[in-house]
Amino acid sequence: MPNPWDPGSARLLVQLGFPALATTSSGFAWSLGRRDMTRAVDVPINADFEGGFAVEPHAVAANVTAAVATGIAGISIEDSSGEASKPLFDFEFSVERVKLARAAIDKSGTGVLLTARSEGFLVGLPDLGETIRRLAAYAAAGAECLYAPGLRTIGDIKAVVEAVAPKPVNVLAGSDFTTVAELSAAGVRRISVGGALARTAWTGFLAAAKEVAEKGTFSALGRAIPFADINARFD
């Protein structure tokens, strides 16, 4: 389930055969694209909803209620606080946020799938035991899919899969540390790439722009996908 950052990248990924997509908060933040990608393609879209754009559980629930009315198929809630001194919300507080997000979805009757994320491995707290404790609690609170971005060993991933079974686990593959086959064999049910596709695009953009600015040459532009080919994909 790769992560486009605008309607154009969403359409191209669908053309490549991916049956579902997820948004990327970082990829979108790096662009000036449209807000609503659910109208660009016909496949299900999972929304990267960060921390619910609120702190208090009831405010998270209110925002989830608004979000599920947009046509998304899934939504995720993180437990990172954004505070350097205490990068994760307290355990019970985090569980309450998931519970009220679950209640908001149930009340909406939309059937939107709820993913709960524990961000310890991304915020400098790579404690597998605490991550599993949180994910298991989120599963019990009603999360249908569990996600700990930043896991990079198959052993850690298998431990998470086993701890929350039979509920599915999402893994972030933002680099070449694994393969789809390896993750599937480990029991992973869903894979996303976060902002990696957007970073890859920006890598090509910056390399080409630097060549023009610093060398006055255009070889990178000569390797680009032909204009007609890109236009044809949006017909």
Per-residue model confidence as pLDDT tens digits over 1-56: 888 888 888 888 898 898 999 888 777 777 754 444 445 678 888 888 989 999 99
CA distance 210 to 221: 11
CA distance 26 to 32: 12
Other Cβ atoms closer than 10 A to 142 = 17
Mean pLDDT for the chain overall: 92
Do the bridges between strand 74-77 and strand 113-117 make them parallel or antiparallel, or are there none, so unpaired?
parallel
Residue among 11, 43, 7 nearest 27 (CA):
7
Write out the two tokens for 174: 């933002």
> What is the chain's percent helix, strand, coil content, to nearest 5?
45, 10, 45
- In the chain, the domains with their CATH numbers are 44-194 (3.20.20.60)
pTM: 0.86
DSSP reduced 3-state for 169: strand
CA distance 117 to 80: 9
